[in-house]
Structure 1
């Protein structure tokens, strides 16, 4: 039996979900991006799993409402429990919702879509069916799909936030240009010094009248040379981890 993952203000039951709490979700949920959100913002976590990113958003943005979509039945059970027992339950909404099907509905627009999308390439898929479903591989959800379609669910000033492997950045940039996005914020995540592993990217719509707007860039190193959590990582998650 998997033990709950306990944070400062809530805990995460993960007995049933195929996808357990990991560093990627913690990094994404705790990311203090500079993109401003309006008062009463509507936030959407796509592929919420146990719900940890949605819960972290609810903690960070106390005036927001957070909607979370998931398709894997076991993960939905964990997320429902985690939302219900959290101090943010009144601002959280969980839906059994396939992202691709929602694109054809009349969903009210969101101010931010956030996702820890699958990054398995063809031929390197997980063997466990529940894990595959939890990562939405079968449904076609991917960083590419999100970049191509997210504007249909966003307000004009809305943004898309992702965490992906660092090796995917060049491809994401190419796809984003074709889809009408600009890279507003970029954090390169290193496991140890000089070992890039992930990128946090925040994308905003590219309007012809905007002119050139430089990307805000920064780095985060997770471990120091001895392999211990770095001071910068501890600072990153200090509002959440015990």
Structure 2
């Protein structure tokens, strides 16, 4: 299998990054609402840089920064940024989220994150240890506290979380004055359990009705909603 994933306007080399190109990030990058006239955008836990690249494609202007603590993923992200058509607008910092928050002036008009922990996706021979390692790398409270500090007053924060964590995440965010503006719940197939929640937060309380997206009608037969959302990115969509 090739270590390079080709999209319509860019490619993502994945060697060195533990987290490969996946549906969660593609959905989040395509779905996340953009603020008006975004100037500064931030990807937290950039991995291979996919979300930053998707934002660069969607935003004709604005600078996109990223932060990644893992050395291999950081190198991979930088290489993908530099090889893209938007190299002059993309930059990745190599540090922990806590270090970045302490040193960054902000504010950011948009912050986006696919946090590097999904407790139900444990494949290690030591599942408890692997789960602890993932959850400790970017806990919800640490992520949200940093977002609260760096997000502009009219800014938007978008994230993908396991559906089982949606309520807890929303409660933690509300305690910091961050409220859902838009929510999309994702099922693999019709009738299957909801697996993911895509969520966009802002500093104002608004009425919102969660939407729903089904990815496949049957194996490798994608729904029109999924194709319409991702067609600007996937080569064969």
TM-score, length-normalised on structure 1? 0.86
How far off is 1:106 after superposition? 4.1
1:228 corresponds to 2:226: no
Query: What does residue 31 of structure 2 align with?
Result: 31
How far off is 1:2 after superposition? 4.1
User: Equivalents in 1 of 2:104, 2:65: separation in Å?
Assistant: 15
User: Equivalents in 2 of 1:125, 1:190: separation in Å?
Assistant: 21
User: Equivalents in 1 of 2:66, 2:101: separation in Å?
Assistant: 15
Q: 1:179/1:32 Cα in 2 relative to 1: closer, same or farther (>3 Å)?
A: closer
- Equivalent residue in structure 1 for 2:47, among 46, 49, 52: 49
TM-score, length-normalised on structure 2? 0.87
Query: What does residue 94 of structure 1 align with?
Result: 92
1:165 corresponds to 2:162: yes
Partner SS, residue 202 of structure 1: strand
Q: 1:102/1:136 Cα in 2 relative to 1: closer, same or farther (>3 Å)?
A: farther
User: Equivalents in 2 of 1:152, 1:86: separation in Å?
Assistant: 30
Q: Do the aligned partners of 2:188 and 2:215 also contact (CA within 8 Å) in 1?
A: yes
User: Equivalents in 2 of 1:205, 1:53: separation in Å?
Assistant: 23
Partner SS, residue 184 of structure 1: strand
The two structures, once aligned, show a CA RMSD in angstroms of 2.4
Question: Structure 1 stretches of 5 or more lacking a match?
Answer: 207-211
Q: Do the aligned partners of 2:69 and 2:96 also contact (CA within 8 Å) in 1?
A: yes
Q: 1:30/1:178 Cα in 2 relative to 1: closer, same or farther (>3 Å)?
A: same
Query: What does residue 213 of structure 1 align with?
Result: 206
Query: What does residue 150 of structure 1 align with?
Result: 147
Q: Do the aligned partners of 2:38 and 2:110 also contact (CA within 8 Å) in 1?
A: no
How far off is 1:174 after superposition? 1.7
How far off is 1:55 after superposition? 0.1
> Which segment drifts farther, 50-59 or 194-203?
194-203
> Which segment drifts farther, 143-152 or 182-191?
143-152
Query: What does residue 177 of structure 1 align with?
Result: 174
1:189 corresponds to 2:182: no
1:119 corresponds to 2:117: yes
Q: 1:32/1:84 Cα in 2 relative to 1: closer, same or farther (>3 Å)?
A: same
User: How many residue pairs end up in the alignment?
Assistant: 229
User: Equivalents in 1 of 2:49, 2:118: separation in Å?
Assistant: 21
Query: What does residue 21 of structure 2 align with?
Result: 21
Question: Structure 2 stretches of 5 or more lacking a match?
Answer: none
Partner SS, residue 104 of structure 1: helix
